[in-house]
Amino acid sequence: MDPSLPESLPPGRIIDSYGRSGRLVWMSDGRLPDADVWWRRLCAERGRTGLYPVLLEYCEDWHGHGADGGAPVDATEYLRGRWEPGSWPDFPQWPGLATPATTGRDPDTCAAEVATTVVRENLAHCLALVQVERASDAPAALHWTGGANHIGADELSAVLRSWEDRFGARVVAFGHGSLHLSAATPPRDLHEAQILAAEHYLACPDVTERHGSPGSGVHASRAPISRPPARTASDAPPG
């Protein structure tokens, strides 16, 4: 569908660089104290507008040039290609991908709760609208480089699409070196949570290296099954 900006928006502008790639991206001119309220409203309207809202730590255009991505990336092949013996001590061999819980919450409700948390904790107060079909495509559409130490924007979006399909994950907010997600159906089994922790490590080793060694996999993998599904968040390595 052709995107259309909502009639009522806070002061903002269309980013010209993205127009050259055929995508519409709008960004607020400044920080919004009620950015989460705007996010919830615009998320509910995305089926009509064709634009997905994301919260941003900063309002300047730091997202690169919005170039279209390259060839499609398969998340399973990408993660399997990153695997090496000793990548994650819990598994001597490639364990495959994690299986989600059989039941969970509404993904949009979880994402709205994370948006509120991000704003309340002063992690992001700017707003953008991005022409994408699904939230997981936002990093590639914005050419986000926050994970460039280990993963490109196209590869990251492929992994996020896989998490969106399996766990009801939603991209909610970006910082220069952080990516905030929600998850509606994270693993409830410790074994599957360990596999998901391994996926997280393969996509973003800096998270484990900053918050614990790879050998702390059991501790890291308890997070997806112990925190409320709506509070799942991921720090990405600084670019």
Is residue 137 a contact partner of residue 226, using CB atoms and an 8 Å limit?
A: no
At residue 72, the pLDDT reads 79
Q: Across the chain, which distance is largest between two alpha carbons, in Å?
A: 55
138-189 confidence digits (pLDDT tens): 888 887 877 767 888 888 989 999 999 999 999 999 888 888 999 999 998 8
Is residue 3 a contact partner of residue 50, using CB atoms and an 8 Å limit?
A: yes
Q: Which residues of the chain have pLDDT under 50?
A: 19-20, 65-67, 211-239
At residue 229, the pLDDT reads 40
At residue 65, the pLDDT reads 44
At residue 113, the pLDDT reads 96
The amino acid that residue 44 corresponds to is: A
Q: DSSP 3-state helix, strand, coil percentages of the chain (rounded to 5)?
A: 40, 10, 50
Going across the sheet that includes 12-14, the strands are: 12-14, 25-28, 126-130, 52-56, 170-174, 179-182
Residue 67: closest CA among 135, 136, 3, 141: 141
At residue 178, the pLDDT reads 86
At residue 16, the pLDDT reads 60
At residue 226, the pLDDT reads 39
